[in-house]
């Protein structure tokens, strides 16, 4: 079955450490997205990519970085510059372009040690 | 400012009962409105999507309505089941450059037996 796989399910970060969240899709979708979800708030867009080797900042990109070397993969790195990284991170994908995710992964929960 | 407000924040109902969740938005210009269901620890799954010209859209026991004049939408769940326990998220797409999405914070529904 086609879908989006996020790993790991749970991740812990130490002070000053960079961590990378994996997102892989086998839906043959062109566009991929990363969202952050905090309790009591709506999802916020971190980065999105409409095509391989291209990506744009979303509303809260500071402290995060991404790459899009393959169509299937869109990893997110949470850097030490992100001072409040504890959140639920969701990866999504869609056909076409324009901020309209159609499928979401099951998320990675990141916590601070 | 583009905003999406959902009410109530949380709701508890007995299995078999109906319920209605509300979504008010100030997004302008409006492109479409989508309702998602998000189970705990999972990614959101799309239930319905409506453009400004649609008044109602059904998906099984879920029926969404839209009043573009008053900028209100509702999600009605009929004959609730324990598996309906989840967060329900309203998302509005802005019809402008970038076609941004504005997410509501969600309504947490708990169905009790």
The 10s digit of each residue's pLDDT in A20-77 is 999 999 999 999 999 999 998 999 999 999 999 999 999 999 999 999 999 999 999 9
Among the ranges given (A94-98, B15-19, B29-33, B50-54), the one the predictor scored with the smallest mean pLDDT: A94-98
The 10s digit of each residue's pLDDT in B38-64 is 999 999 999 999 998 999 999 999 999
Q: Which residues of chain A are within 8 Å of residue B103 when distances are taken between CB atoms?
A: 42-44
- Which positions 18-57 of A are in contact with B (Cβ < 8 Å)? 40-45
pLDDT number for residue B27? 85
- Residue of B110 and A101 predicted with greater confidence: B110
Inter-residue contact A25 to A4 (CB < 8 Å): yes
Helix H or strand E segment including A57: strand A54-57
Inter-residue contact B49 to B62 (CB < 8 Å): no
Mean pLDDT of B3-26: 97
Task: Take residue A52 and report the two structure tokens written for it.
Answer: 């391989």
* Backbone torsions φ then ψ of A108, nearest 5 degrees: -125, 130
- Give the angle A81-A82-A85 at the CA atoms, nearest 5°: 150
Burial A9-35 (b: 16+ CB within 10 A, else e): eebebeeeeebebbbbbebebebbbbb
pLDDT averaged over every residue in chain A? 93
- Give the angle B98-B101-B8 at the CA atoms, nearest 5°: 165
DSSP string, B9-57: SEEEEETT--EEEEEEE--SSEEEEEEEEE-TTS--EEEEEEETT--EE
pLDDT number for residue B98? 65
Q: Which residue has the tokens 């109530």?
A: B8
Mean pLDDT of B92-113: 89
Number of H helices, E strands in chain B: 0, 11
Q: Please, which residues bridge with residue A10 across strands?
A: A109
The 10s digit of each residue's pLDDT in B15-27 is 999 999 999 999 8
Say whether A99 and B43 touch across the interface (CB within 8 A).
no
Whether B94 has a pLDDT exceeding 90, the answer reads no
Q: Which residues of chain A are within 8 Å of residue B41 when distances are taken between CB atoms?
A: 106-107, 109
Whether A97 has a pLDDT exceeding 70, the answer reads no
Q: Which residues of chain A are within 8 Å of residue B42 when distances are taken between CB atoms?
A: 106-107
Q: Which residues of chain B are within 8 Å of residue A1 when distances are taken between CB atoms?
A: none
Strands A108-112 and A87-94: antiparallel
The 10s digit of each residue's pLDDT in A74-83 is 999 999 989 8
Q: Which of A40, A45, A107 sits opposite B43 (nearest CB)?
A: A107
Query: Distance (Å) from the C-alpha of residue A42 to the closest C-alpha of chain B?
Result: 4
Gap between the Cα atoms of B17 and B36, Å rounded: 20
List the single residue in A with minimal CA-CA distance to B94: A99
Mean pLDDT of B73-92: 98
Could you tell me the pLDDT band of residue A110, with boundaries at 50, 70 and 90? very high
List the single residue in A with minimal CA-CA distance to B97: A98
Task: Take residue B18 and report the two structure tokens written for it.
Answer: 């109906």
Strands of B72-77's sheet in order across: B4-7, B19-25, B72-77, B62-67, B56-59
Whether A89 has a pLDDT exceeding 90, the answer reads yes
């Amino acid at each position: 079955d086609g879908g989006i796989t996020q790993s790991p399910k749970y991740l812990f970060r130490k002070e000053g450490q960079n961590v990378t969240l994996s997102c892989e899709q086998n839906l043959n979708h062109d566009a991929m997205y990363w969202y952050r979800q905090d309790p009591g708030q709506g999802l916020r867009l971190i980065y999105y990519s409409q095509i391989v080797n291209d990506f744009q900042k979303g509303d809260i990109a500071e402290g995060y970085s991404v790459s899009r070397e393959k169509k299937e993969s869109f990893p997110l790195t949470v850097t030490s510059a992100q001072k409040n990284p504890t959140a639920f991170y969701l990866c999504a994908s869609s056909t076409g372009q324009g901020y309209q995710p159609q499928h979401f992964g099951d998320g990675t929960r990141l916590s601070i040690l | 400012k583009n905003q999406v407000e959902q009410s109530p924040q949380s709701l508890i109902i007995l299995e078999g009962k109906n319920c209605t969740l509300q979504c008010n938005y100030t997004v302008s210009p409006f492109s479409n409105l989508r309702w998602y269901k998000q189970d705990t620890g999972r990614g959101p799954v799309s239930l319905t999507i409506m453009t400004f010209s649609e008044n109602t859209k059904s998906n099984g026991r879920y029926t969404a309505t839209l009043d573009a004049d008053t900028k209100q939408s509702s999600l009605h769940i009929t004959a609730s089941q324990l598996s309906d326990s989840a967060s329900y998220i309203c998302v509005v797409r802005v019809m402008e450059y970038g076609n941004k999405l504005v997410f509501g914070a969600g309504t947490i529904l708990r169905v009790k037996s």
